[in-house]
A and B are shown apart, each in its own frame.
Chain A
Amino acid sequence: MSTVDLEAATTPAVATGQDRAVLRRFLRNPLAVIASLVFLTIVLSAVFAPWLAPYGANFTKLALVTAPPGEEFLLGGDGAGRDVLSRLIYAGQLTLAGSFLTVLVAAGLGVSTGLVAGYFGGWFDRFGGWMANFLIVLPGTIVLVAMFTLIGPNIIITMVVLGVLIAPNFFRLVRNLVISVRNELYVDAARVSGLSDGRIISRHILSVVRAPIIIMAASVWGIAIVVQAGLEFIGLGDPTTPTWGSMLLDAYNNIYIGRHLLLPPGLMIGLTVGALILIGNGLRDALNGEEAIIVAPRQRVKDAARAEAAVPSVPEALLEVQGLSVGYAGRDGSTKTVVRSVGFTIARGEILGLVGESGSGKTQTALSVLRLLPEGGMVTGGGIWLEGQNLAGLSDAQMQAIRGKRIGYIPQEPMSNLDPLFRIGSQLCEPLQVVGGLSRQEARGRALALLERVGIADPHRVFMSYPHQISGGMAQRVLIAGALSCDPDLLIADEPTTALDVTVQAEILDLIRDLQAERNLGVLMVTHNFGVVADLCDRVAVMRGGEIVELGAVNDIFARPQHEYTRTLLASTLEDAPVRPPLVPRPPRRQNAGAET
């Protein structure tokens, strides 16, 4: 066990729930409950060994040396004529206590140093990291064997040293978790409230690291049992007190005359370690929250879509959406509808704004046109036609081709839509080569021309850049270039300027307007900003709670909003809000008592 890789065993579960909810979920997991009961039984039987075991641990009956299971010794006798069952129960004491000591030492050392290193950083963090690396590269088993030659059989010291060797796993886990919460705004807020570091750690930081520590402790306990058994098995234990490992050794020594002796200690170790791992997994699942949502089969979607509206009502429209409903499958099999009977058309060269607040269903509507709904989402009714072609009837492969060639998409977060590992150029060229069928050289030329067209001053430099080397506004220009690369007829833009500064937003809106005019594009513009609608759109649909409440020409809707909700939204815009009356001078209040200490 030169390196014990525990990282994989413990996905850092950022705990969000209350303890009670976690406990309830844990108890609903049958495997975890059974494992807990098994483990509890093993622990209790070790604790109450003097009352439970039929004989003493060292009670010997020479007639029953390596005896098979029988009436007197239920599991038979070992190589020295002792009762296997009794020794098995007694052996639990030292095995469990010794391995638990390892957990205590590893967690105590690792968690305390990890907290300090993560929270305060600085030299302690560097030193701690160096120590952790040093301990991890030490060949653990060899260290323990070497120690045995120095101090002789002392299982307690051995387990403490093993704990020290495993401590770096706790150190790394805790340090990384603490660093991730240290910069959370609520920790800043606590600092501004005047909380001391100790209080911030106990109130805000421990609560986050507690659960992953418990999960890791469960698996470390299991590992410690195995390591301890291994050491005892090679004869490095204290022969006077039984452990499962020393019982294995005895069984091995008598393997030709009493093969049945291997089974009880082997089974015990396996059962205990298995139970600990299952408990750890159960805890992790309980902390991670509800199980994943059930993904509804796609087939139902298409059938529903085909069954209803089968013909477009405005065949000459570029895009027509009719009676569109979108739902998400709940865990209990029910469907939560997020878009309800939405219908609109977009003509060539027209910009339609889809405006609404969060949760209004505007993005869901746009994503269902692209057939890019997130897991669990599905079109539950209605139809979508692109120049009379029913998109619902297409296979995923056909839809893929439509997305590349006929519909371009501009997402909200430019940066998260570029792969940080590839140069901008290769990300632009790939679809041109794969979808557009261009050669490498042609694709390069075309990509450079596109970059220039979207207003990038030095296309060659950007072509060779990685995403982190360019600004957010530049990244959005690159994505617009990407959306245009295969000459689409329809552009779907999902809040394309929300993440950008206002001066950059103005430039991007100018760019979209120019491109739209130049290429006679139809545009579906999803936004929450009425300023963007006023700037760019020809018509606008106002959405609330998954429905379109009002749809019309932009000038009409701004001048004469018909629906109550549209009026409320327009009244909420701050541009016409009154300015505050001048400040009435007032003296400062005396400082709060006690503040001037």
Chain B
Amino acid sequence: MSIIATTNLLEVDDLTVHYGKFQALKGVSVTLAPGETLGLVGESGSGKSTLGRAVLGLAEVSSGSIRYLGQEISRLDRAGRRALSREIQVVFQDPYTSLNAMLSVGDILVEPLLVQGVNGAKARERVQELLDQVRLPSDAATRLPREFSGGQRQRIAIARALAINPQLIVCDEPVSALDLSTQARVIDLFIEIQERTGVAYLFISHDLAVVRAISHRVAVMSGGKIVEQGPADQVTSAPKDDYTRRLLMAAPVPDPIAQAERRRARLAQAGKVPA
């Protein structure tokens, strides 16, 4: 492997991904520093999830590069991928289908440890540590996923991602299936874990408010391209790009007066007369 001095954890450069004839990513470039959260926001079909899957090695790359600590990882073989699994982990959107319903929570959490050759007693100890980290009761290990609520299941998925202490976690809509109050708590947990462990997040969401709350930087995607990228506060409150502005204006704010204002502005911008 090449030795390149770099401060970036992840560098995606001019990445293109095809699904059959459909071009899901059209030359996307992003970077991620250690301990940083890059929020990827966009609507369905924008390519945000495809970017996450490409980084995880779950989507085949057509052209461009993905470098992790300077090392090209977009065309790794199985063994290379397996080695990389110590470094890059994932939390998926749906806490119901991302956990195998037939395995106990303990078995689910032990899985990544077994792959890395962590043995019985040590693995069990680590499972307890992980449950503690995500604030689940220690008897959770012996129970089945279905005994837990959506928010608790997502904590299990986070614990699984943390198990082998990765430096990067790809989070694909991890809070969009959760209730409002649960959502806020899970985001707090994500932030707290980041501050303690220095893990970096590639955080994918369709919700600008969620991305704003957790990200240091935000990239807005549309039609397989990044239309705007910058500091979270700027992109989510004073966007420069037209599409980002439309996205921001379309999201209703939970305040009737402010929302009436936003609606008027949106309709005016679209050239419609407000009702």
Contact = CB atoms under 8 A, between A and B. Distances in A.
A568 B9 CA distance: 38
B257 A555 contact: yes
Contacts of A580: 37, 191, 213-216, 232
Contacts of B231: 582
A191 B112 CA distance: 10
B169 to A, nearest CB: 10
A303 interface: no
B242 to A, nearest CB: 12
A186 B252 contact: no
Given A574-B213, A580-B37, A186 B99 contact: yes
A148 interface: no
Given A208-B102, A574-B209, A583-B35, A502 B43 contact: yes
A191 B78 CA distance: 10
B98 A186 contact: yes
A194 B87 contact: no
Interface in A337-365: 357-358
Nearest to A507: B250
B100 A204 contact: yes
Interface string A525-567: 0001111111100000000000000000011001000000000
Contact of A573 (B33, B103, B165, B254): B254
Interface residues of A, number: 70
A585 B33 contact: yes
A399 interface: no
Contact of B183 (A17, A535, A574, A588): A574
Interface stretch (B22-30, B89-97, B119-127, B131-139): B89-97
B214 A528 contact: no
A529 B255 contact: no
A514 interface: yes
Nearest to A555: B256
Given A185-B98, A574-B187, A190 B215 contact: no
Contact of A577 (B167, B209, B216): B209
Interface in B210-263: 210, 212-216, 231-233, 236, 246-247, 249-259, 263
B147 to A, nearest CB: 11
A203 interface: yes
Contacts of A578: 213
A596 B275 contact: no
B252 A501 contact: no
B150 A597 contact: no
B97 A591 contact: no
Given A517-B275, A528-B179, A586 B34 contact: yes
A501 B44 contact: yes
A568 B185 CA distance: 12
B255 A596 contact: no
What range describes how many residues of B lie at the interface?
35 or more
B102 A594 contact: no
B198 A586 contact: yes
Contact of B254 (A190, A531, A555): A531
A269 interface: no
Contacts of A203: 100, 103, 111
A466 to B, nearest CB: 20
A196 B82 contact: yes
Contacts of B246: 503
Contacts of B259: 531, 534-535
A528 B176 CA distance: 12
B232 A532 contact: no
B184 interface: yes
Contact of A588 (B69, B93, B97, B191): B69
B266 interface: yes
B213 A535 contact: no
Given A184-B97, A579-B232, A596-B83, A533 B36 contact: no
28 contacts: A185-B97, A188-B56, A189-B90, A189-B160, A193-B115, A194-B86, A195-B111, A196-B82, A203-B100, A203-B103, A502-B207, A502-B208, A510-B275, A528-B179, A531-B251, A534-B252, A534-B256, A574-B213, A579-B212, A579-B213, A579-B233, A586-B33, A588-B9, A588-B34, A591-B69, A591-B86, A595-B86, A597-B83
Given A534-B252, A570-B254, A587-B34, 5 more contacts: A189-B98, A189-B160, A196-B82, A579-B233, A596-B83
Interface of A: 15-18, 184-186, 188-196, 199, 203-204, 207-208, 357-358, 472, 501-503, 505-506, 509-510, 513-514, 517, 528-535, 554-555, 558, 568-570, 572-575, 577-580, 582-589, 591-592, 594-597
The 5 A-B residue pairs with the shortest CB-CB distance in the complex, in nearest-first order = A531-B252, A194-B85, A530-B254, A185-B98, A194-B82
